[in-house]
Amino acid sequence: MQHAFIVSDRTGLTAAAMAQSLMSQFPRVDFHTRMLTFVDTTAKARAVVDQVREATVRDGTAPLMFMTVAQEAIREVFRQEELEVFDLFETFIGPLEQRLGTASSHTVGRSHAVGDEAAYSARIAAVHFALQTDDGLELDHYGRAELIVVGVSRCGKTPVSLYLSLHYGIYVANYPLTGDELGRRTLPPALEPHRDKLFALTIDPRRLTQIRSERLPGTRYAEPATCQQEVAQAESLFRSNRVPLLNTTRMSVEEIGAMIVNRVPALQQR
């Protein structure tokens, strides 16, 4: 077991992403991470140092430290203690200053702050739009959608739609294909006028059976035969209507979201 401390003077989101990326390259090490966020005074930094010392004594080995601390005075606390730190700012700010020919501000991390207020408000509006149009609700708002995610029930439309709205500020609706709609060769009438905005998700029928069984066990909805038929019909409908299709079986919402943005050029010009 290897402890990893994620230290940040703000949210710790960047430090956590950096730590996860690096740690995922060591699949055989059993990492236990601990978030130490909003470490924005030298007193708090000293308290972190105490925790590092304690962990070192207890474990017999020092915890890894992944850090995004922009303020020099706080970094100096860790430097004086001669702790070994993987520090994003320490490592890259110098070369970046040289490359850009200008000094950095050394202010507390602001990368997840509101920043541009209009852009931020638009992102929150996108979240409310995704909620309002979730699961085929409020079809008359589809004109405002930038993307309409389609697929059978529980293939992952809702979490991905919320993620795309929250993270990228994209106006995303989602529409579940059910019953009669699955048996046809043409798209449902509500979707037809918006076919350029459609993106379809599909999933392995066995995985779908698992997911539906957790939700409504023992129902026809959750039966393997139902899941198999619905997925086959949906895939056939998407293919014959040339709707871009992604199999999400082993993908996370973040991966599905990034893949959709990667495959839909209109979503990249923002």
CA distances (Å), 8 to each of 41, 43, 83, 88, in order?
Answer: 11, 14, 15, 10
Q: Contact region for its own copies (CB under 8 A) — 20-28, 145-153, 169-177, 227-235? A: 20-28
Residue number with CB closer to its own copies (38 or 241)? 38
**Which member of 56, 81, 86, 139 binds its own copies (CB under 8 A)?**
86
**Which member of 139, 182, 245, 259 binds its own copies (CB under 8 A)?**
259
Q: Per CB under 8 A, does 124 bind its own copies?
A: yes
Residue number with CB closer to its own copies (50 or 105)? 105
**Which member of 128, 141, 184, 195 binds its own copies (CB under 8 A)?**
128
Least Å distance between CB 258 and its own copies? 4
Q: Using CB under 8 A, which residues numbered 211 to 240 contact its own copies? A: 214
Q: Per CB under 8 A, does 111 bind its own copies?
A: yes
Residue 221's CB is within 10 A of a number of other CB atoms, namely 16
Query: From start to end of the chain, where are the E strands?
Result: 2-8, 31-36, 64-68, 86-87, 147-152, 172-177, 198-202, 245-247
Least Å distance between CB 201 and its own copies? 13
Q: Using CB under 8 A, which residues numbered 156 to 215 contact its own copies? A: 156, 158-159, 162-163, 166, 214
How far apart (Å, rounded) are the C-alpha atoms in residues 73 and 243? 54
Q: Which has the closest alpha carbon to 153: 231, 217, 214?
A: 231
Residue number with CB closer to its own copies (186 or 268)? 268
Q: Per CB under 8 A, does 246 bind its own copies?
A: no
**Which member of 92, 183, 192, 244 binds its own copies (CB under 8 A)?**
92
How far apart (Å, rounded) are the C-alpha atoms in residues 15 and 17? 5
Maximum pairwise Cα distance, the chain:
70
Q: What tokens appear for 72 in the block?
A: 């020099």
Task: Give Rg (Cα) of the chain.
Answer: 24
